[in-house]
Homo-oligomer: A and B are copies of this chain.
Amino acid sequence: MNPVNLKQLAQELNLSVSTVSRALSDSYEISAATKAKVQQLARELGYEPNPYASSLRRQKSKTIGVVIPEVANNFFSLAINGIEEVARENDYHVLIYLTHDDAQQEATIVQHFASGRVDGILASVAGETQDFTHFSKLQERHIPMVFFDRVCEEFATAKITTDDYQSGYQATQHLLEAGCRHIAHLLISDHLSIGQKRLQGHLDALRAHGLTPDPALLLRGTSNKDYNQTLIQELLQRNPAIDGIFASVETLAMSSYLACRHLGRRIPEDVKIISFSNLEIADLLDPPLTTIAQPAYEMGREAARILFKSILKNRPILPAQSQELKSNLIKRKSTATL
């Protein structure tokens, strides 16, 4: 059975293609009688308009592109949920592209969007990305885009972030108040603004408490989990005084956890750990892990909302539409005391 098209409906009903088209779009210039006839037959035959013909004609794809590093990660999963939901509300479709944190792949993907495949873009940039010309080319083509979480600062468009500086500050303050004096800071990429902001908050908090940041306690992780654990163990051994760890991303918190156990460092008695993380299962960890949860779902929704406001009203996105959402510091007590 072939897909049904307007022509077939028209023939069947002895009407012209355009009449059928208008009847289906419920145009005011069609009589109620023919509308009913047309719509009924369409339903019977299971007519579905060809979206590509329609896109070609209207120069609208009813599709947005989402470009993210990866999806095997609670943060981006939740964000996608939010995005898909808002897209559906607006009767839009969602194309997903994963960069695997590779700048080259990101460039290839983004460049392709110049084809008109999507009406707008939501992006969280790859860790290594330094050169943003692929994005700026799209801006020249007036394709609306919104960055979320991992944004590039130098773009005049909306960016949805969390209060990375503040929560970096808070997290450190939390460790300091718990008595830590030698806090290691673990981050992933040097190039990501979120990492830098969190680090800045961390350093400022230290200074505000009269401590001098020790560069030796700063560790850049890699993309290899096991190797990260080794690096952290070495860090702990080189600096036995370390009594707190601030992990900028979830995976580094996990590696820290394992590193401490491996070295027999008790958590939280010897070393306290705090981390950015959206894992619900953190509730189960004992010793407890204090986490800073980002409102991932809300970020996805908010970014999508701004994008659609632009797409549907055909207006440019202003940097002023940017938002900084509040993250949520979650302290947990050891459940052993229950």
Contacts and interface: CB of A to CB of B under 8 A. Distances in A.
Given A51-B117, A93-B95, A117-B52, A46 B111 contact: yes
A111 B98 CA distance: 27
A312 interface: no
Interface residues of A, number: 60
Interface in A14-28: none
Contacts of A284: 254, 257-258, 285
A53 interface: yes
Given A56-B52, A95-B95, A258 B283 contact: yes
B50 A115 contact: yes
Interface in A37-92: 46, 48-53, 55-56, 61, 63, 70-74, 76-78, 80-81, 84-85
25 contacts: A1-B140, A1-B141, A3-B114, A3-B116, A3-B141, A46-B111, A46-B114, A48-B112, A48-B116, A50-B116, A52-B61, A52-B116, A56-B56, A72-B74, A73-B77, A81-B98, A84-B96, A93-B117, A94-B97, A96-B96, A257-B284, A261-B335, A264-B338, A279-B279, A286-B286
Interface of A: 1-3, 46, 48-53, 55-56, 61, 63, 70-74, 76-78, 80-81, 84-85, 93-98, 111-117, 137, 140-142, 254, 257-258, 261-262, 264, 279-286, 297, 335, 338
